[in-house]
Structure 1
Amino acid sequence: MTIPYNMAFACLDCRKSFKRQFNLSKECPSEMTCPNCAGIAHNFGRHFKAPKKTDSKQWKKIEFLFQHGFKFQKIRIGSGHHDVVNYPDTLEQAREFVVKYKNHAIS
C-alpha cells in the first residue's frame, strides 16, 4: 500500500497556489493548468508554503529560485537524513543560495 501525498502547485503569473493529492508510486506531473488563470502551475512539492498573493517580494524570490532549478525540494547535506538546508528568506539570500547549492538544482 502506498500513501498519497498532497503536492503544492503554484502559478507564478497570478500567484495562485493549490494542492492536489498524488500517489508517489505513480508519476506526479511537474505542471498543471492553473484553476485561476488557465496558465501554468508548477509543482513545488510537498513542503512548499505559498506566501500571501500580495507579498510581491516573496513571490519574486520564489520565481528567482524556480528559474534557477529550485522547486522547494529538500536539499540534504551531510550524512544524516536530518541535515536539510533551509530555503532563503529574501531575494538577496536566494542569490547566494543558488550559487552555493547549484549542484542541487533540478533542470
Structure 2
Amino acid sequence: MRAGAAFAAALLGGLVLTALFSSIPLSGGQALTMFGVVDRVDYATAAWQALALTATGPVTLWGLITIALLVTRNGWSARSASRYGDPVCFYAMTHYKLHYACVSCRVSFKRHADLQREHLCPNCSQPLLCAGHDFAPPPRRDVRSWSVVAAVLGEGLRYEGLSVCGCGKEPKYRPRTRAELRIRRAVAARDGLSLSEALSRPDPLTSPAD
C-alpha cells in the first residue's frame, strides 16, 4: 500500500472513531454525541468505567493525532492539487536540492543551490557542475556515458523534467549515447547551430518549433 493511501486510511479511521467515542457532557445527565443528545449511562462499577476509558482514550487520541498530521504534513495541499490536475509551482514552494556532478571523477552529489559560493568536489577539489533536478548519473565505470554527460554539462545544459517553476512536466531532451552526441555535433557544424541547441533536439534534423 502506498504511503498516501495508508495515511488516508489512518485519517479516515481516526475521524470515525473519534466521532464515535467522543461526547460532550451536558446538564441534566445528558451528553452530546454524533447521534445527537442522549442520556448518559452510568457504569455499574468504577472498574467498568476505568476499562471503558482505557479502551476509548487511545482511540480518541489516535484520531486527534491523524488530524494534526494532516494539518502539518509538508506539501499536502500541493500534492493533492497536483493529483487532481491543478498546476502547482513545486519549485516556488519548496527549495529542492540540485544534482552537482564532477565529470572528471564521475561522481555526483545533491546540494542546495548557493549563489554565494561554489560547490567543490570532495575528491579533486574542482568546482562541481550543476546538473539540474532530474539528473540520473551513469555508473562510475561507464566512461562513455560520462563523456556524454560532460559534453551536455559543458554547454551549460541541465537535466530537467519539469518546467522552470515546477508546475508542469516539460522533460528536456539530452543525448545519452556517444552516437547521439556525434550526430548532433555534425548537425551543429553543418547547419551553423550552437552545440547547446543541437544537444537539446530530440530529432537533430528538426527544430523544436517545427
TM over 0.5, yes or no?
yes
- Give, in angstroms, the shift of residue 40 of structure 1: 1.6
Identity of aligned residues (%): 24
Deviations along 1:50-86, whole A, 9 cap, x unmatched? 111110011000111122332324597xxxx545343
User: Offset at 1:2?
Assistant: 3.5
CA deviation after TM superposition for structure 1 residue 88, in Å: 2.0
1:39 paired to 2:134: no
Contact 2:119 2:127 in 1 (8 A): yes
Q: Distance in 1 between matches of 2:116 and 2:161?
A: 18
Task: Say whether residues 1:55 and 2:146 are aligned partners.
Answer: no
Structure 1 gaps, min length 5: none
The amino acid of 1:65's aligned partner reads V
Q: Is structure 2 residue 180 aligned with structure 1 residue 89?
A: no
Q: Select the residue among 71, 77, 87 that pairs with 2:158.
A: 71
Q: Deviations over 1:20-69 (max 9, x none)?
A: 134xxxx6579411122211211111111111111001100011112233
Tell me if structure 2 keeps the 8 A contact 1:6–1:20. Answer: yes
**Selected match of 1:13 from 96, 101, 104:** 104
Aligned length: 97
Larger RCO (CA under 8 A, 6+ residues apart): 1
Distance 1:52 1:60 in 2: 12
Larger Rg: 2
- Larger % of strand: which? 1
Distance 2:94 2:160 in 1: 19
CA contact (8 A) 2:161 2:170 kept: no
TM-score, length basis structure 2? 0.38
**Structure 2 unmatched runs, 5+:** 1-91, 201-210
